[in-house]
Amino acid sequence: MDPIEAFLQANALVTPLYPATSRYHGIAAAQLRLADGTHVAYLRRRFIPPPEGLALQQEHQVVAGDRLDNLAARYLGDPLQYWRLCDANRAVRPAELTETPGRRLRITLPEGIPGGIPGVGGAD
């Protein structure tokens, strides 16, 4: 990120690219200049937090017909938060979380929020 953009963001003079509920919130935008002089805009890499550090709220046992968006709506209050279930369960491919009935899914608090079940999943 260039110094001017960093200053503007640090001083809340620029609207974030993504809302606080997005997995891309806080990820900086960048540009790549190609050999022909054109610029390609992209987001910098997002690093997934280690699931062990996320505070466990509860677990869900997958049953046939479960959908990740419905589980996110039930447990997190927003179907668009399905990506938090992916992060909590180390899933790169979201569909893998509900493919196997009987699988136990971790439902966690967002990164940086302490709590959850004492002694489990980063909760104290």
Question: Could you tell me if 72 and 123 are in contact, meaning their C-beta atoms sit under 8 angstroms apart?
Answer: no
Q: What is the pTM of this model?
A: 0.73
* pLDDT value of position 58: 95
Region of poorest pLDDT, from 12-16, 70-74, 75-79: 12-16
Q: In this predicted model, which residue has the larger pLDDT, 8 or 113?
A: 113
pLDDT tens digits, one per residue of 11-50: 555 566 788 888 888 888 889 999 999 999 888 999 888 9
* pLDDT value of position 69: 97
Question: Could you tell me if 17 and 24 are in contact, meaning their C-beta atoms sit under 8 angstroms apart?
Answer: yes
| Contacts of 106 by beta carbon, 8 Å cutoff, 6+ apart | 51, 54, 56, 59, 85, 88, 89, 121
pLDDT tens digits, one per residue of 83-119: 999 999 999 899 999 999 999 999 999 888 887 655 5
